[in-house]
Structures are given as structure tokens and as C-alpha cells.
Amino acid sequence: MSELICKDLTLGYENNALVEGLNFHVNKGDYLCIVGENGTGKSTLMRTILHLQKPMAGTIEYKDGLKSTEIGYLPQQTLVQRDFPASVREVVLSGCQAKMGFRPFYTKEEKELAKKNMERMGIEKLAKRCYRELSGGQQQRVLLARALCATEKMLLLDEPVSGLDPKVTADMYKMIKQLNDDGISIIMISHDIYSAVKYASHILHIGSDTFFGTVKEYKKTKLGRLYLDEEGGRENA
């Protein structure tokens, strides 16, 4: 069963279409990596899936019990957050806001959920620390815990490892894979094509050529081979 189906999507700003005729779907438990060069509309696609902007054409359907607000989101760091005085606990707890509606305060269950997710991410010892004083990897864990408070169904990650050192990057990928194994569907934007083909089950490549399919299929295509070789060549150089 597909949780998310995108049909004939055209994305862009004002009258500039970045991507046209995009078709793909995400099944429960899938791990989809979105790859492609800069400026091809990866972030625009993500914003559209999250309802932060409207598609220029086409539809996005949420199925299999997934509501459009049940997608946890791990954004890239914003400028505001760099000097925001907030404790880790406050940030994680704010993930529960979707469940609140007009209720002004958090319930005991929501506080429990926040605690559980902090433990899951291994940051329970940091609960009282200030968010802006944490390392990049720790901050990402905090934001992941927040996203998990919002949903147990689907996570959308926008370049979760950018700016992290290799060891922390590897830990982050393992942690995401673990969440995927727990049954959470993952959609991730990534520049790191090797980790994408290593961990993901499906690849969506957008750009001048578009591809959607499993990792196995992707490796066989001309596009995939080209892209993998090119990246490999660059790394060896």
C-alpha cells in the first residue's frame, strides 16, 4: 500500500517550473533518497510534500491512514535557531504540538513521549542543556527526537548530515536506518550518493533526466552509472 503518491507534479516558483511531470510513490516502510544537482528542485519538492507551498500542477495523495500533518520533518538549520535560548527538552516537546489543537499546555502523556524519544535518540542526559550550545550531531538528534514526537509514520529529512564530520555522519545514517527498520518510512534529500545507494530502498533522481525506482534498478541505468562514476571519479581525484 502506498502512503504517499505524487502524480504529474510540476514544481517551481512563480512561473518558473523547476521540475515537470514528476511521478513517484512511497510505500510503508520504504527508504527513499532524493538525489540530484543543486537547484533542480529537491527542496521545493520537500516543501510541497509538507504543504509549505502549492504544486504548480499535479496532485499529492496521502493514503493508508497517513494524514498530511503526520509527516515528521527534519529541516536544515535556520539562522534563528543559532542563538535561540531553548533547552533540549523544550525543543523536543514542541514536536507534540500537532496533537494539541487548541489545548494550551502539554499533557503528561506528551511529556512521557518526549522523554521516550530523547532516550531513543540517546540525548536524555542533555535534556536541560541549551540547544545552541550542542554540537551539530547532537542538534540533529534533538531535531530527530522532535520529529518523532510529531509522527511514528513518515520522516522527511533535508540533508541531515550536511556539516557533520565523518564519524557523526556514519552514526546518523545508522540511526536513520534503525528508525526505518522500526517501520518508519523515510524520505531523505541527500548529496551523498554512496550512502544513498547503501542505505535506501528507492532512489528518486531529479534533474535534466528523471529516474524513480529501486536502488537495484538505479544502479543499472545509464543515469545511475554515470552519476555514481562521476561522483567516484571526483572523490578519487
Partner 1 sequence: MLDTLAYYIKFPFVQYAIIVGVLIALCSSLLGVTLVLKRFSFIGDGLSHVAFGAMAIASIVNVSVGDKGAASGQNDMLIVLPITVISAVLLLWTGQNTKIKGDAAIAMISVGALAIGYLLMNIFSTSTNLSGDVCSTLFGSTSILTLKSSEVWLCIILSIVVVVAFVYFYNKIFAVTFDENFAKAVGTKANAYNLIIAVIIAVIIVLAMNLVGSLLVTALIIFPALSAMRIFKSFLSVTVCAAVFSVVCALLGILLSIIYGTPVGSTIVAVDMAGFFIFTIVGKIGGRA
Binding-site ranges for partner 1 (CB under 8 A):
47, 50-52, 68-69, 71-73, 75, 78-81, 83-87, 89-91, 93-95, 97-98, 100, 104-106, 128-130, 133, 146-147, 150-151, 156
Residue 142 CB, nearest approach to partner 1 (Å): 11
Pairing relationship of beta strands 202-205 and 71-74 according to DSSP bridges:
unpaired
Question: Which 3 state secondary structure label does DSSP give 204?
Answer: strand
Q: CA triplet 15, 38, 74: central angle to 5 degrees?
A: 95
Cα 104 to Cα 129: distance, rounded to the nearest angstrom: 24
Here the cell at position 73 is 520533518
Residue 137 CB, nearest approach to partner 1 (Å): 18
Residue 235 CB, nearest approach to partner 1 (Å): 32
User: Which residue type is seen at 43?
Assistant: S
Q: Which CB atom, from 109 or from 181, has the smaller least distance to partner 1?
A: 109
Residue 80 CB, nearest approach to partner 1 (Å): 6
Q: Which CB atom, from 162 or from 221, has the smaller least distance to partner 1?
A: 162
Q: Which CB atom, from 120 or from 129, has the smaller least distance to partner 1?
A: 129
Cα 199 to Cα 74: distance, rounded to the nearest angstrom: 18
